């Protein structure tokens, strides 16, 4: 495995502003936050993709993300939050260790996803639906 900053934080080799830790995950404040209170929830086992997490690891991670989100909202007085997980470089994942961002939000914080919205051509929606269902 190549060097992983999250594995180094988990091992205690790099200091972090830890929020909560279990046997499966660690949560800490992001050192380059989108907004103050931006936290990360990181499974302790090194895996690059959400698809490689066990069901138990995923359950614990999302449960801790929910707890951290509530605590961050209380601590920051934020109006809302995002929980994001970027999977793969094309999706914006910068560190190849699966992690969840908990980002406190306010209406005027200036953070935007810049999402575009497309329309399906006739028949494409149903065709894609069938293809996905075959893979479930």
Tens digit of pLDDT for each residue in 35-65? 999 999 999 999 999 999 999 999 999 999 9
Q: How confident is the model at residue 113 (pLDDT cuts 50, 70, 90)?
A: confident
As a whole number of angstroms, the distance between CA 122 and CA 51 comes to 31
**Over pLDDT 90: what percentage of the chain?**
94
pLDDT above 80 for 1? no
**Domain-wise residue ranges, the chain:** 5-135
Q: What is the pTM of this model?
A: 0.92
Q: Which one of the listed residues 38, 59, 97, 99 is annotated catalytic?
A: 99
Listed as own residue / partner, the contacts of 32-38 with beta carbons closer than 8 Å and 24 or more positions apart are: 33/103, 34/101, 34/103, 34/109, 34/111, 35/76, 35/78, 35/103, 35/104, 35/105, 35/106, 35/109, 35/111, 36/76, 36/104, 37/72, 37/75, 37/76, 37/78, 37/104, 38/101, 38/102, 38/103, 38/104
38 is known as an active-site residue: no
CATH T-level fold of 5-135: HIT family, subunit A (3.30.428)
């Amino acid at each position: 495995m190549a060097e992983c900053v999250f594995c180094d934080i988990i091992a205690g080799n790099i200091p972090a502003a830890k929020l909560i830790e279990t046997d499966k995950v660690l949560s800490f404040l992001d050192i380059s936050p989108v907004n103050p209170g931006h936290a990360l929830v990181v499974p302790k086992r090194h895996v690059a993709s959400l698809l490689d997490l066990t069901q138990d690891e995923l359950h614990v991670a999302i449960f801790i993300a929910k707890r951290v989100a509530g605590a961050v909202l209380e601590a920051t007085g934020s109006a809302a939050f995002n929980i994001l997980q970027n999977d793969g470089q094309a999706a914006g994942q910068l560190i190849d260790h699966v992690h969840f961002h908990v980002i406190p939000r306010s209406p005027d914080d200036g953070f935007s996803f810049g999402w575009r919205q497309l329309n399906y051509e006739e028949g494409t929606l149903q065709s894609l639906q069938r293809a996905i269902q075959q893979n479930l």
